[in-house]
Copies of this chain bind each other. A is one copy, B any other.
Amino acid sequence: MQKVYSSAVESIAGLLADGMTIMSGGFGLCGIPSALIEAIQLSGVNGLTIISNNAGVDGAGLGLLLESRQISRMVSSYVGENKLFAQQYLAGELQIEFNPQGTLAERIRAGGAGIPAFFTKTGVGTSVAEGKEVRRFNGEEFVMETALFADVALIHAWKGDFEGNLVYRKTARNFNPMMATAAKTTVAEVECLVSTGSIDPDQIHTPGIFVSRIVHVPDPEKRIEQRTVRRLAEETV
């Protein structure tokens, strides 16, 4: 069971095909699989459908794949931070399917957990529910949403072992754990690669069964989108 690859490029080798669907973890630029996204850019694969909460910013994260015009469709909840996105969308080069953030998270979790569809109150009475079944339970209306599943999931974790067990750090967890479960092949970049047995088994966020390939990316560059600070005297925001 050899899961560790020596570089991001090698870790995705043999997995890619034009037109495939890729999930990419992260919220904003927090917890995104930067090294794996760069490897996707290098591969030149195109016509991609990307499932990701956001689309990066110009020059970082999925913004890289927009620059190289490798993405033809996005499934996201918010793509506000990216000029290139707007340009390509308005030029008709890029399709977008907006999902409410919680619905997106739940559709991915459902995909990994063998749930083909579920009902949620989110979006009832809005354009999100158009064309979807709406049904009453206990007198309230709910809309049916279906599962998402990808060919490949790209994950960023803080710590991983040789078994593929993963631990995330703070709000860099976000979409990564569900995406790790909802793809044919899951590739994880980890900031710390540790020996199997050194992570407390009660504190593993993603069990190794979900992770096929791991690559060690020490000290990844992490950008901050909105640097907000307080002065020492201030108590609150």
Contacts and interface: CB of A to CB of B under 8 A. Distances in A.
A202 B135 CA distance: 37
A127 interface: no
Query: Interface on chain A toward B: helix, strand, loop, or mixed SS?
Result: mixed
B115 A106 contact: yes
B202 A169 contact: yes
The copy count of this chain in the complex is 2
Interface string A95-139: 000000000001000100111111111000000000000010110
Interface string A16-43: 0000000000000000000000000000
Contacts of A116: 119, 137-138, 140, 142
Most-contacted residue by chain B among A114, A135, A201 (CB, 10 A): A114
A118 B118 contact: yes
A118 B121 contact: no
Interface in A177-230: 200-203
Interface of A: 106, 110, 113-121, 135, 137-138, 140, 142, 146, 167-170, 173, 200-203
Given A116-B119, A117-B119, A118-B118, 5 more contacts: A106-B113, A115-B120, A116-B140, A117-B142, A137-B146
